[in-house]
Amino acid sequence: MSIRPILRLWLFAGAVLLSTVFAGAAAQAAPVPKAIRIGTLYADSGPFATSSQSQLQGLQFWVNDVNREGGVYVKAYRRKIPVKLITYNDRSSTTTAATLYNQLITQDHVHILAADFGSVLTSVAVPIAQEHKMLLFDQTGTGANFFTPDNPYIVLTSLPTSAEWPYALADFLKAQTQIRRVALLYATNDFTGSQAQTLRRRLQGSHVKLVFDHGVPTSTSSYALLLHNVQAARPDAVIEFGYPNNDIAFLHDLQASGMKFRMVFTIFPGQLFALMKSSVGVQTLAYTYTYPTPPLLVYNKVNYGMGLDRFKEAFRKANGKNPNFLNIAGFNTGLIIQKTLDMAPSLDQLALRRSIVDFSGKLHTLNGTFKIDTATGAQIGETLPVGQFIPGSRGLAVRMLYPPDLATGKPVYPAP
């Protein structure tokens, strides 16, 4: 080889080295932000208000907690930086939410974008975040269609995708020899529609048959006529999938009707127990089934953040009330954000995502094991068992029924 090609090769290598050095120096010279700006939405009215505000309260609790210690450690700047939470009110409107998500990205220039509560209000955030190449920390929007291999700009923090929720429920139903006929009533949205689809699929080929399968609008507030149709199908178990307002309306109408079913399952008593108890009463919830979540499901052996008991004590001291699941979900989102900033070498959005992949499956919080499907960002580490509310001298207690390794007792079936 002649000297000229060798010289050119050395000159090229030197140029690459110098550009790398200058790029690194430029990154170090970039001004340190006064605060890490986290943007999210909440609803103070409409069907999602109660859940949304609970979730925001949990995230705000995390912000206050880290700021008392000087902020979060940001590896990109090698120092702690305070957190500033920027929030806007979407009033449970997807149209308003779409405008406000855009505002957080394009006008407020947030470093971190977190979604509002649930699949409906998250649904508009997913394409907006992807369009702007902004990583969306999806707190509780569990619609299965949000998570695809072609979109690296989403991570589900505090619940598994809703398509996975009924796994234990379907297996529990199949394990009960007395249950052969099931009625399924669900709200037709991404969240509960995907659960209905999974339940159908996992019951196929078993002795358990769907004798009633009916979807209703999420805005449904009366179930009286529907309950008569359910009763006519003579089910051994009734499964109702809906948001809190659906569950409350369904259980109210069930109590008012005087009908008795051998098994009744609803979602949100396991997440918003205090709200559901105050809305429908202890008698109505007695012997019903649900998905227990923290704080009904207790995780104290953690390797990041507070365990559940410590969190409950701190949250009560700060807010004067016991936390519900959505308070925990919001706080847990904060922990995931904190760990991400602690590990990511820059605030580039895909660098944040790669850091999350690195600690996926290794992080155990008060919400369980944080683990994502690395291709889609879907949460696959957290467990949603089946439980039953059992009345006792101290009120209602949750008995874990399924899967067997979490079971604390057997079901009371049929319900008295």
Residue 16 has pLDDT above 60, yes or no: no
Judging by DSSP bridges, how do beta strands 79-81 and 72-74 pair with one another? antiparallel
As a whole number, mean pLDDT of residues 168-197 equals: 96
Residue 161 has pLDDT above 50, yes or no: yes
Residues 276 and 305 in one domain: no
Is 19 domain-assigned? no
Residues 198 and 270 in one domain: yes
Tell which residue, 93, 90, 168, has the closest CA to residue 407: 168
Say how far residue 413 (Cα) sits from the centre of its chain: 30
The pLDDT-based confidence of 383 (bands split at 50, 70, 90) is confident
Is 21 domain-assigned? no
The pLDDT-based confidence of 144 (bands split at 50, 70, 90) is confident
Residues 278 and 242 in one domain: yes
Residues 43 and 142 in one domain: yes
Which pLDDT does position 19 carry in this prediction?
A: 42
Burial class (CB in 10 A: 0-12, 13-18, 19+), 186: buried
Is 25 domain-assigned? no
pLDDT in tens, 176-187: 999 999 999 999
Q: Which domain holds residue 258?
A: 166-290+385-406
Lowest mean pLDDT among 4-8, 61-65, 278-282: 4-8
As a whole number, mean pLDDT of residues 266-271 equals: 96
Half-sphere exposure (Cβ direction) of 207: Cα atoms closer than 13 Å: 10
Tell which residue, 314, 187, 184, 190, has the closest CA to residue 261: 184
As a whole number, mean pLDDT of residues 277-303 equals: 96
Residue 17 has pLDDT above 50, yes or no: no
Residues 193 and 115 in one domain: no
Residues 96 and 184 in one domain: no
Total domains in the fold of the chain: 2
- Report the distance separating Cα 145 and Cα 147, nearest Å: 5
Residues 130 and 236 in one domain: no
**Chain-wide mean pLDDT for the chain?**
93
Q: What is the DSSP letter of 277?
A: H
Is 15 domain-assigned? no
Is 20 domain-assigned? no
The pLDDT-based confidence of 393 (bands split at 50, 70, 90) is confident
Residues 126 and 204 in one domain: no
Helix (H) or strand (E) holding 378: none
Phi-psi region of 182 (alpha: psi -120 to 50; beta: other; left: phi over 0): beta
Is 348 domain-assigned? yes
Which pLDDT does position 22 carry in this prediction?
A: 43
pTM surpassing 0.85?
yes
Residue 287 has pLDDT above 60, yes or no: yes
Residues 109 and 250 in one domain: no
Q: Are 82 and 68 in contact (CB under 8 A)?
A: no
Q: What type of residue is 408?
A: T
CATH number of the domain that 147 lies in? 3.40.50.2300
Is 362 domain-assigned? yes
Q: Are 321 and 56 in contact (CB under 8 A)?
A: no
**Helix, strand or coil, per DSSP, at residue 402:** strand
- Report the distance separating Cα 344 and Cα 388, nearest Å: 42
- Report the distance separating Cα 153 and Cα 90, nearest Å: 22
As a whole number, mean pLDDT of residues 331-352 equals: 98
As a whole number, mean pLDDT of residues 102-127 equals: 97
Q: What is the DSSP letter of 274?
A: H
Residue 333 has pLDDT above 70, yes or no: yes
Which pLDDT does position 29 carry in this prediction?
A: 54
Question: Which residues lie closer than 8 Å to 26 by C-beta, 6 or more apart?
Answer: none
The first and second tokens of residue 117, run together, are: 């509560």
- Report the distance separating Cα 253 and Cα 251, nearest Å: 5
As a whole number, mean pLDDT of residues 362-369 equals: 97
Residues 283 and 303 in one domain: no
pLDDT in tens, 115-136: 999 999 999 999 999 999 999 9
Question: Which residues lie closer than 8 Å to 344 by C-beta, 6 or more apart?
Answer: 75, 76, 351, 352, 354, 355
- Report the distance separating Cα 384 and Cα 193, nearest Å: 17
Is 11 domain-assigned? no
Q: Are 380 and 111 in contact (CB under 8 A)?
A: no
pLDDT in tens, 195-254: 999 999 999 999 999 999 999 999 999 999 999 999 999 999 999 999 999 999 999 999
Residues 49 and 157 in one domain: yes
Select the more confidently predicted residue: 102 or 9: 102
- Report the distance separating Cα 55 and Cα 332, nearest Å: 10
pLDDT in tens, 46-81: 999 999 999 999 999 999 999 999 999 999 999 999
Residues 148 and 108 in one domain: yes
- Report the distance separating Cα 343 and Cα 251, nearest Å: 46
